[in-house]
Amino acid sequence: MKRRIIAVLAAASVLGLSACGSGSPSSTGGGTGSAGSTGSTELTKVSVGVIPIVDCAPIYLGTKQGFFKDEGLQLDIQTATGGAAIVPGVVSGSFDFAFSNLISVMVAKDKGLDLKFVANGASTTGEKGKDVGGVVVPAGSGIKSAKDLAGKTVSVNNLSNIGDTTIKSAIEKDGGDPSSVKFVEVAFPDAPAALANKQVDAAWILEPFLSKAVAEGGTVVSWNFVDMSPDLDIAGYFTKADTIKNKPELTQKFTRAMNKSLEYAQAHPQEVRDIVGTYTKIDEAARAKIVLPHYKVDFNKDAFKTLGDAATKYGTLTKAPNAGDLLP
C-alpha cells in the first residue's frame, strides 16, 4: 500500500519532483534473514524512505547493480516529500531505514527521538562555482556577496533547517548580520520565478533549478554549503537506535550495500545521470548539465560539528549534537 506522508520539504536538496515509481512491493518486515551470500533465493524485504532527488541516486544504482541482493536484501523503496516527512515514518516503523538531511535528524534527536545515521548520503562538492546549491540574485542586483544579504529577504525551501542555517553562517563569516535577514519559504521549483518577479531579493536554489536560474542571468553570491565547510556532508541514511541494537545483522547488511552504492555512484557519474531519469521527471538535457553531489562513505565529524554548532547558535537546536550519538 502506498504510504501517504504529508510534511514540509526539509531535504538538503529537495527538488519538488514526483517519482515515476515507488520501487518494489511493500515490505513485510525488517528481519535479518539468511539470503544472499548463503545461496538462498529468499530475500529479506527492507523498506526505505527516500526523496525523488539526485542525492538518492546511489540507492537506485546499488539496487540495479545487485549490491543489496548480494546481502540478501530486497528493497522496498518508498518516496516522500522530504526529510521532515520521512522522520515520522522511521519512528513509527513504516520505514526500516530512510534518507534525510543532517539537520532534520539533528532536530528529531534534539526533541528526544533516538535516531542514528548508518550510512552517508550526499555531500558538497567542496568547490565554489560548482556545487549543488547556492544563493542566487537577479541580474543588476546590488547584492555582491553573502554579507550584502543582511536586511534582505531570502527564500529557502524550509525554515529552521539546513538552508537558513548554512546561509546565516556564510553571512556572518563574510561580516554581515545574519539576524537581520528575513527568510521566507519558497519551494525550489518556484524560486527562480520568485526571484524574477522580485518577490524576494535572493533565493537559495539547488540543482537542477540552480543551473536554470544562472542560465537566465542569475548570479550566485554564496555557495553556502562550501562556505560552511568544503567537507560538509548534507544528508545520510538513518534508522532507530532500537533497529541498530536489535537487528545488528540487518543494519550491517544495509550499511555495506549502501556504502558500495555510494562508491559506485561516485565512480560512475553518467550512470547517476541516467538512473535519475527513471525516478524523477528531470529530462535528459537538464540531467546532462546539473552538478552532482559528492558521494562518499565516511562522514566528516568536524564538518558535522560545525553544522550542529551553527544550528544551535541560530536557534534551530536547543543544544549542540554529539557526533558520536548520531554518526556511525
pLDDT tens by residue, 9-43: 333 333 333 333 333 333 333 343 444 444 457 99
Q: How confident is the model at residue 84, as a pLDDT?
A: 65
pLDDT at 8 over 50: no
Nearest Cα to 115, choosing from 253, 254, 276, 245?
Answer: 245
Mean pLDDT, range 206-211, rounded to an integer: 88
- Strand, coil or helix: 226: helix
Phi, psi of 22, deg, nearest 5 = -120, 25
Measured distance CA(114)–CA(282) in Å, rounded: 35
pTM above 0.75, yes or no: yes
Name the pairing type of β-strands 97-101 and 44-50: parallel
**222 within 8 A of 5, measured Cβ to Cβ:** no
Between 2-6, 133-137, 265-269, the lowest mean confidence (pLDDT) is in 2-6
CA–centroid distance for 66 within its chain: 23
pLDDT at 163 over 50: yes
Mean pLDDT, range 283-298, rounded to an integer: 95
* Grid cell for residue 32: 535479518
229 falls in which pLDDT band (50, 70, 90)? very high
pLDDT at 240 over 90: yes
The label of the residue with cell 556564510 reads 170
66's torsion region: left (phi>0), alpha (psi -120 to 50) or beta?
left
CB atoms within 10 A of CB 129: 10
pLDDT at 187 over 80: yes
Name the pairing type of β-strands 153-156 and 182-185: parallel
Alpha helices in 54-179 (DSSP H): 57-65, 67-70, 83-92, 102-110, 162-173
Name the pairing type of β-strands 182-185 and 115-123: unpaired
Mean pLDDT, range 258-274, rounded to an integer: 98
Q: How confident is the model at residue 166, as a pLDDT?
A: 97
- Strand, coil or helix: 120: strand
Q: Which residue has the higher pLDDT, 11 or 195?
A: 195
Radius of gyration of the chain from its Cα atoms, rounded to whole angstroms: 19
Q: Which residue has the higher pLDDT, 212 or 13?
A: 212
pLDDT digits 0-9 by tens, 77-102: 999 876 667 899 999 999 999 999 99
Mean pLDDT, range 177-181, rounded to an integer: 97
Measured distance CA(162)–CA(254) in Å, rounded: 26
pLDDT digits 0-9 by tens, 291-314: 999 999 999 999 999 999 999 999
Q: How confident is the model at residue 32, as a pLDDT?
A: 38
